[in-house]
Chain A
Amino acid sequence: MDLNTKYTPQSWPDHPENTTLEGKNKFTGFWLFLGGETVTFASLFATYLALKNKGPSGMEFTTQDLFELPLVFIMTMLLLTSSLTSVYAMYHMKNYNFKAMQAWLMVTVILGLAFLGFEIYEFNHYVHLGFTFGQSAFSSAFFILVGTHGAHVVVGLGWIILLMVRNAKRGLNLYNAPKFYLASLYWHFIDVVWVFIFTVVYLMGVVG
């Protein structure tokens, strides 16, 4: 099968992400990779829960007076919405509508960048309060857990932008369709992890 064959919406397969063997391999491999990622984050969450609010004697920082839910709520909404827009993008990918897919991916990227901006603001704020990476075990665990998620957001954004730029002129084919699909899968995974961070770190930190 020639990977650069031109398709029409009629001839475009139902599951372009795993029509070719290469696509199918990537699809399976990426799901397995996300399984490994899940274990990574599970380890980080377990460590965070063990070290939550732990620091040198007399440490003043606790989750209760550090975290502010309104800011985190806005971030959550931004990221959840970006996940939805990436679903729209994949909907159009499956309908062989390249322009609409690119447009929705663009919205996804903008929402992701906004999330990232808030996160940088948040981290910066904590550092100014004196809650630096090396301040306590709690701060190390917090920054590593949330920071690893943030690094995933950066990688995800870079990946989606690269795909959009690289394929801007040539449209969809069975070679790049799996790539778009996997990037969106990765984006969903980042979103799911954030749901847990929102619950375990922020919500249970302030309310629990």
Chain B
Amino acid sequence: MSSIAQKKGFGATLWDYLTTVDHKKIAILYLITGGLFFVIGGIEAMVIRIQLAQPDSDFVSAGLFNQMITMHGTTMIFLAAMPLLLGFMNAVMPLQIGARDVAFPFLNSLGFWLFFFGGIFLNLSWFMGGAPDAGWTSYASLALASPGHGIDFYTLGLLISGFGTLIGGINFLVTIINMRAPGMTYMRMPLFTWTTFVASALILFAFPPLTVGMVFMMVDRMFDGNFFDHTMGGNTIIWEHLFWIFGHPEVYILILPAFGIFSEIFATFSRKRLFGYSAMVFATVLIGFLGFMVWAHHMFTVGLGPTANAIFSVATMAIAVPTGVKIFNWLLTIWGGSIKFTVAMIYAVAFIPTFTAGGVTGIMLASAPLDYQLHDSYFVVAHFHYVIVGGVVLGLLAGLHYYWPLMFNTMLSEALGKWTFWLFFIGFHLTFFIQHFLGLLGMPRRVFTFGANQGWDLYNLISSIGAIGMALGVAVLVVNIIRTIVKNEKVGRDPWGDGRTLEWAVPQPVPFYNFKQTPLVRGLDTFWIEKQEGNKEGMTYAEPVGDIHMPNNSFIPVVISFGLFVAAFGALYNGEQPWAVPVLILGLVITFGAMIVRSLKDDHGYHVHKEDLMDEKGGKH
């Protein structure tokens, strides 16, 4: 690989991104793909709201509506929110801990491409006979009866992308355990690294049950299995347990990294050390732990009995305690700070009341008797959109503005960012606040239409108008991104001026090896400490300049993932098409063949030599 900066053609750039193992480039891939799926999921949401804007609407058919709600939920959770968060983790976490890359650069790339092909496979269902239509939870009793191949696309697509996420989780865990710079003790890690750590641990333990559930669903529908078919002795509740043993930790996998992003933003723009750092760390770990103890609160009405319901009810309410600790710590971080209202900070401040509202309705739903009333109503829809949009999506938008200069060395327009914020924020509350009342008035979720004059007409119309606001906000954001890319004004290192942690101390554009010399971390907010002491370089070094070992690029991750993509088509048409089994085998041969090639070919990486690093021109990429 050349170490001299040069203009590359489109083909070379494309090849570079197809084969890259650099965490910063993989982060960009996650951001682009996740952003694309976010827009697709948003369009699906708009279709839902147009259909529900007035009673007895026939904008879409009932069947298509079911596909829309299923794909909206599945896309937003698995293909938008998670990859976008994984993108920020990739972009930021290695820099925050002073590492030159993640522990397994090859697996990092593999994780992305598995997600990519899984997501593409799932969305191809639109063009190949219809999308999944049993809701994003895909309860077995409904899903088994779903005609066509929609549910098969769901199980196979999520299996493939789920492997990718699992690989990513293990990778981040090992990176944080083994690759922290000297002096970067656990209790000096920035909060975003901490939340990445805990979220990765949740991924590690939550995704296997999902995988098992998906395999059961797959064999039941495609290979003659009987796990959920009660006439054959099966039990449909097994799916619900497996799904929610995954599904509940999943919401913490989403929200914890968002908490991390907000923690960084509050400290930076209040220009104060994060209040109660150790309590924040403890609360993060506790939320992660309790997150595994509450899955049955999604199943209060299944009939598990009063004892089980009571235990899960209390455990659920207990999560409010560490979450409350966090809310108050953020407030006390702002308190008395020298506050700068950048777009990122505005998002963070808006997040607190919004997320708290979602938390309060969560406590209401945690009460099993009340849940019997509210179950499957629009109250639940309002609740989880308040926590997921009000928490995760606001976190992603805040993170996008905050970390954009770190990733691209340019700055999103603050003026347009404020437009996006107000359109999105007002639109959001207009859409979802009123849905609480729709739920209390008895409107069930997942209905494709409703009769007039039940007192729901106006509320639904208001909700749909709000959705337009959110869509406009996202449109302005897209304009903002395009404008920023076209203008291409470089902003350099520490563009906010108040960066506290290591990622802001590296020069811009970030060299492909991240750190010429491994930094020595001297405390929490290490960059802040160095700046206070007048260190112009922003870092104290733990080693002299020496050769840097780097991993080689590889195309194999794409091949491995593509093989599974091919095999999934074979499994899908098993028993229907004569070519199904050969295609299944072909795909698996591609995947395992590529894995064997990877295993047999030694890959020692290469070294960036000391002389090239010392020479100022060298080492640029």
**Do A and B interact?**
yes
Decide: B211 and A40 in contact? CB cutoff 8 A: yes
* Distance A63 CA – B452 CA, assembled complex (angstroms): 57
Task: Enumerate chain A residues within 8 angstroms of B599, measured Cβ to Cβ.
Answer: 162, 166
| B173 within 8 A of partner (CB) | yes
Q: Which of A103-111, A112-120, A131-139 contacts B (4 or more CB under 8 A)?
A: A131-139
Task: Enumerate chain B residues within 8 angstroms of A24, measured Cβ to Cβ.
Answer: 178
* Distance A144 CA – B213 CA, assembled complex (angstroms): 12
Decide: B170 and A29 in contact? CB cutoff 8 A: yes
| A59 within 8 A of partner (CB) | yes
| B528 within 8 A of partner (CB) | no
- Nearest-Cβ distance from residue B153 to partner chain A, whole angstroms: 22
Partner of B173, one of A32, A47, A56, A136: A32
Decide: B208 and A37 in contact? CB cutoff 8 A: yes
- Nearest-Cβ distance from residue A51 to partner chain B, whole angstroms: 6
| A3 within 8 A of partner (CB) | yes
* Distance A56 CA – B220 CA, assembled complex (angstroms): 15
Interface digits, A132-166 against B, CB 8 Å rule (1 contact, 0 not)?
A: 01111111110010000000000000000010001
Interface digits, B164-178 against A, CB 8 Å rule (1 contact, 0 not)?
A: 001000110110011
Decide: B227 and A36 in contact? CB cutoff 8 A: no
Which of A37, A43, A55, A166 is packed against the most chain B CB atoms within 10 Å? Answer: A43
| B453 within 8 A of partner (CB) | no
* Distance A149 CA – B397 CA, assembled complex (angstroms): 44
Task: Enumerate chain A residues within 8 angstroms of B171, measured Cβ to Cβ.
Answer: 29
Chain B residue nearest to A56 (CB atoms) is B232
- Nearest-Cβ distance from residue A166 to partner chain B, whole angstroms: 5
* Distance A25 CA – B549 CA, assembled complex (angstroms): 15
* Distance A140 CA – B245 CA, assembled complex (angstroms): 21
Query: Known: A21-B178, A25-B103, A50-B235. Contact between A36 and B170, CB under 8 A?
Result: yes
| A129 within 8 A of partner (CB) | no
* Distance A139 CA – B227 CA, assembled complex (angstroms): 9
Partner of A140, one of B205, B209, B219: B219
Chain B residue nearest to A163 (CB atoms) is B599
| A39 within 8 A of partner (CB) | yes
Task: Enumerate chain B residues within 8 angstroms of A35, measured Cβ to Cβ.
Answer: 204-205
Decide: B174 and A133 in contact? CB cutoff 8 A: no
Interface residues of A in 2-45 (CB under 8 A from B): 3, 21, 24-25, 28-29, 32-33, 35-37, 39-40, 43-44
* Distance A55 CA – B599 CA, assembled complex (angstroms): 43
Prevailing SS type, chain B contact patch: helix
Query: Known: A32-B204, A55-B232, A56-B233. Contact between A43 and B242, CB under 8 A?
Result: yes
* Distance A109 CA – B207 CA, assembled complex (angstroms): 31
Partner of A59, one of B212, B227, B233, B604: B233
Interface residues of A in 76-107 (CB under 8 A from B): none
Task: Enumerate chain B residues within 8 angstroms of A141, measured Cβ to Cβ.
Answer: 227
| A188 within 8 A of partner (CB) | no
Decide: A43 and B208 in contact? CB cutoff 8 A: yes
Chain B residue nearest to A179 (CB atoms) is B599
Decide: A140 and B226 in contact? CB cutoff 8 A: yes
| B370 within 8 A of partner (CB) | no
Decide: B212 and A47 in contact? CB cutoff 8 A: yes
Decide: B226 and A28 in contact? CB cutoff 8 A: no
| B369 within 8 A of partner (CB) | no
Query: Known: A51-B234, A144-B219, A162-B596. Contact between A136 and B204, CB under 8 A?
Result: no
| A175 within 8 A of partner (CB) | yes
Query: Known: A43-B212, A166-B600. Contact between A136 and B174, CB under 8 A?
Result: no
Interface digits, B233-249 against A, CB 8 Å rule (1 contact, 0 not)?
A: 11100100010010000
Decide: B205 and A47 in contact? CB cutoff 8 A: no
Interface digits, B150-187 against A, CB 8 Å rule (1 contact, 0 not)?
A: 00000000000000001000110110011100000000
Interface digits, B590-603 against A, CB 8 Å rule (1 contact, 0 not)?
A: 00000010011010
Cross-chain pair count, CB within 8 angstroms: 108
Partner of A47, one of B204, B207, B216: B216
Prevailing SS type, chain A contact patch: helix
Chain B residue nearest to A4 (CB atoms) is B604
Partner of A136, one of B103, B178, B226: B226
| B104 within 8 A of partner (CB) | yes
| B215 within 8 A of partner (CB) | yes
Task: Enumerate chain A residues within 8 angstroms of B103, measured Cβ to Cβ.
Answer: 25, 28-29
Chain B residue nearest to A2 (CB atoms) is B604
Chain B residue nearest to A141 (CB atoms) is B227
* Distance A51 CA – B178 CA, assembled complex (angstroms): 42
* Distance A39 CA – B204 CA, assembled complex (angstroms): 9
Task: Enumerate chain A residues within 8 angstroms of B233, measured Cβ to Cβ.
Answer: 51, 54-56, 59, 136-138
Query: Known: A21-B178, A29-B103, A55-B233. Contact between A47 and B208, CB under 8 A?
Result: no
Interface residues of A in 142-201 (CB under 8 A from B): 144, 162, 166, 175
- Nearest-Cβ distance from residue B161 to partner chain A, whole angstroms: 16
Partner of B170, one of A32, A133, A135, A137: A32
Chain B residue nearest to A44 (CB atoms) is B212
- Nearest-Cβ distance from residue A53 to partner chain B, whole angstroms: 8
Partner of B174, one of A29, A40, A144, A162: A29
Task: Enumerate chain A residues within 8 angstroms of B372, measured Cβ to Cβ.
Answer: none
* Distance A51 CA – B596 CA, assembled complex (angstroms): 37
Decide: A47 and B238 in contact? CB cutoff 8 A: yes
Partner of B232, one of A3, A32, A136: A136
| B224 within 8 A of partner (CB) | yes
- Nearest-Cβ distance from residue B208 to partner chain A, whole angstroms: 4
Decide: A134 and B224 in contact? CB cutoff 8 A: yes
Query: Known: A32-B170, A36-B166, A55-B233. Contact between A137 and B207, CB under 8 A?
Result: no
Query: Known: A59-B233, A137-B233. Contact between A39 and B600, CB under 8 A?
Result: no
Decide: B232 and A137 in contact? CB cutoff 8 A: yes
Partner of B600, one of A44, A56, A162: A162
Decide: B232 and A40 in contact? CB cutoff 8 A: no
- Nearest-Cβ distance from residue A115 to partner chain B, whole angstroms: 22
* Distance A138 CA – B242 CA, assembled complex (angstroms): 18
Task: Enumerate chain B residues within 8 angstroms of A50, measured Cβ to Cβ.
Answer: 235, 238
- Nearest-Cβ distance from residue A30 to partner chain B, whole angstroms: 9
Interface residues of B in 25-56 (CB under 8 A from A): none
Q: List 15 A-B contacts (CB under 8 A).
A: A3-B604, A25-B103, A25-B178, A32-B173, A32-B174, A32-B204, A40-B212, A43-B212, A43-B245, A51-B235, A134-B223, A136-B232, A137-B226, A162-B596, A175-B604
Which residues in A have some Cβ–Cβ distance to B below 8 Å? 3, 21, 24-25, 28-29, 32-33, 35-37, 39-40, 43-44, 47, 50-51, 54-56, 59, 133-141, 144, 162, 166, 175
List 5 A-B pairs, minimum CB-CB distance, nearest first. Answer: A54-B233, A134-B224, A137-B233, A137-B234, A55-B233
Given contacts A36-B208, A39-B205, 10 further A-B contacts (CB under 8 A): A33-B170, A36-B170, A36-B205, A47-B212, A50-B238, A134-B223, A134-B225, A139-B226, A141-B227, A175-B602
